[in-house]
C-alpha cells in the first residue's frame, strides 16, 4: 500500500522490484529469505536494473551510486522498524503466572515428551459449552511431570 501511494499511477511498473525485494528479505518465522528457503541458496541479485539499449553505469560509479542509495534507504527501513515495533509494543501483554494457574501447553512431540496417563478429569461448564479439564502425567526426559 505504501508503494502504491509513493509511486502514484506507476506502481505497477515497480511491482516486480517489490516482489524481488520481498522474496529476498529475511523472514523471522522461517529464519531465512523465502528464496533461500525454497532453493537452498542465496539469490544472486542483479545490481543494476536497466532496459535494453539504456546506458549502464559500470565500475566505481556503480559502487558509488549503490552506496548512496543504501544510505538513503537505511534510515527509512529503521524508521519503519521502529514504528512497527511501537505498534506491537502497545498490544503486547506481560504474562505473569502464579502457582496453580491453568495454562495451555504446546508440547512438541519431537522433543521427547509424551503423555503417560490421565490422572484426573473434570468438565467445566461455560454458558453454552463444556470444556474438559484433563490432568495428564507426562514422561519427559528429565523425569515425570504433571499438567
- List Cβ neighbours of 49 (8 Å cut-off, separation of 6 or more): 17
Q: What is the reported pLDDT for 85?
A: 92
Domain residue spans of the chain: 2-91, 109-146
Q: Predicted confidence band at 82 (pLDDT cuts at 50, 70, 90)?
A: very high
What proportion of the chain, given as a percentage, has pLDDT over 70? 71
Per-residue pLDDT, averaged over 34-40, amounts to: 79
Between CA 71 and CA 78 the distance in angstroms is: 11
3-state secondary structure of 133: strand
The answer to whether residues 27 and 33 touch, using CB atoms and an 8 Å cutoff, is yes
Q: What is the reported pLDDT for 64?
A: 82
Beta bridge partners of 89: none
CA 16 to chain centre: 22
Q: What is the reported pLDDT for 17?
A: 76
- Choice between 110 and 132, residue whose per-residue pLDDT is larger: 132
Q: What is the reported pLDDT for 119?
A: 81
Does the pTM exceed 0.75?
no
Identify the residue whose cell numbers are 461448564: 125
The x, y and z cell numbers of residue 78, run together, are: 529503521
Q: What is the reported pLDDT for 67?
A: 81
Amino acid at each position: 500500500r505504501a508503494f502504491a501511494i509513493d509511486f502514484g499511477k506507476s506502481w505497477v511498473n515497480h511491482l516486480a522490484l517489490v516482489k524481488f525485494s520481498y522474496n529476498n528479505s529475511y523472514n523471522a518465522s522461517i529464519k531465512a529469505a523465502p528464496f533461500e528457503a525454497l532453493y537452498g541458496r542465496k539469490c544472486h541479485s542483479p545490481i543494476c536494473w536497466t532496459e535494453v539499449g539504456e546506458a549502464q553505469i559500470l565500475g566505481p560509479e556503480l559502487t558509488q551510486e549503490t552506496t548512496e542509495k543504501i544510505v538513503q534507504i537505511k534510515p527509512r527501513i529503521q524508521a519503519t522498524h521502529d514504528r512497527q515495533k511501537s505498534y506491537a509494543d502497545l498490544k503486547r501483554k506481560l504474562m505473569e503466572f502464579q502457582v496453580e494457574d491453568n495454562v495451555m501447553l504446546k508440547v512438541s512431540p519431537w522433543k521427547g515428551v509424551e503423555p503417560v496417563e490421565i490422572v484426573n478429569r473434570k468438565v467445566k461448564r461455560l454458558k453454552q459449552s463444556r470444556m474438559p479439564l484433563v490432568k495428564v502425567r507426562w514422561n519427559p526426559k528429565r523425569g515425570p511431570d504433571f499438567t
